[in-house]
Copies of this chain bind each other. A is one copy, B any other.
Amino acid sequence: MAVYTQVSAEKAQALLRLYDVGSLVSLKGIAEGVENSNFLLETTQARFILTLYENRVDPDDLPYFHRLLAHLHEARCPVPRFIEDRKGQWLQDVAGRKACLIEFLPGISVSEPTEARAAAVGMALGQMHNALKSFTEIKPNPLGQASWRSLFGKCDAVATEQFQPGLSSRIERELDWLDANWPTDLPAVASHTDLFPDNVLFNGDRVGGLIDFYFACTELRAYDLAVTHAAWSFSNDGGSCNTEVGKALLDGYASCGELLAEERHALPVLARGASLRFLLTRLYDWINTPADAMVTRKDPLAFLKRLEYYSGVEGLGLFL
């Protein structure tokens, strides 16, 4: 959530000379997205996002994201396009980083989802999964269920117990339970897997943009829906669940996409898995980020609370 690499106006002007998109009018570093450097770049013709890829995104994955977004754009899903230069290149080198010029989509990210907006997000996700049935490229999920035990193994055991006594055994128990209960025979499709409110742009109650596809991979589509449920229907701290918002999300999804009975049946398990995935990545980041660093550390417990909710009596009724 910061600008890691500076881009001078002169460098941006040199980049724009490769494109047919007008000349530079304004350039502002913006604080958003995963750990990339992002700039809002305005030309005499239009506005763009200039993204420089930092450590978190593997440049070898960029062609996959490019093909995925091109496919979605073709299918009229509201996603930003990578802009091609005069030679048809969409991947550039800027200030020592791989970089892309990306379509700017207007819209605001909400912090307090309403039912209307959750329904709209569900519809957009369903539409996206439908459109991706014809996108056959496979990219395994590096943060999928099979990875969670080894991810937990990288979290220092002492620090985990210091963070919250009893947390290690709770996670071990959940890992075992998920191993025993994880569904294997559900439809998989290219999925966003990180569709938090930050990554949806609204124009009023209408979804104007789904952004930040840098965790996209082949996953159970119902897992993508479960992640989105965990992301949208709880208070930030995980302390309370807005069941109506969650229901609106599912109804929206089912109305535009496809939700098989066996997928709906698996949602409680998938939602526990989604909670554990974010608990683990946040725990890892918490332990490995100095408390005085300028990045805001996200509280792992917000997802432990979701996990407990989904594991309890109330959770079982959520997806019926």
Question: A residues touching B (Cβ–Cβ < 8 Å)?
Answer: 1-3, 8-10, 12, 24-32, 40, 42, 106-112, 201, 203, 290, 292-295
CB pair B42 A8 closer than 8 Å: no
Chain B residues whose CB sits within 8 angstroms of the CB of A9 once the complex forms:
108-111
A111 in complex: contacting residue of B8, B25, B109, B290, CB < 8 Å: B8
* 6 sampled A-B residue pairs with Cβ under 8 A: A1-B2, A10-B111, A28-B30, A29-B32, A30-B40, A293-B293
Chain B residues whose CB sits within 8 angstroms of the CB of A1 once the complex forms:
2-3, 29
A226 to chain B, nearest CB (A): 25
Q: How far is the CA of A128 from the CA of B295 in the complex (A)?
A: 39
Chain B residues whose CB sits within 8 angstroms of the CB of A32 once the complex forms:
28-29
Counted per complex, copies of this chain come to 2
Chain B residues whose CB sits within 8 angstroms of the CB of A30 once the complex forms:
28-31, 40
Contacts A2-B2, A294-B2; A106 near B29 (Cβ below 8 A): no
Q: How far is the CA of A24 from the CA of B109 in the complex (A)?
A: 11
Chain B residues whose CB sits within 8 angstroms of the CB of A111 once the complex forms:
8-10
CB pair A42 B294 closer than 8 Å: no
CB pair B25 A40 closer than 8 Å: no
Q: How far is the CA of A294 from the CA of B293 in the complex (A)?
A: 6
A111 to chain B, nearest CB (A): 4
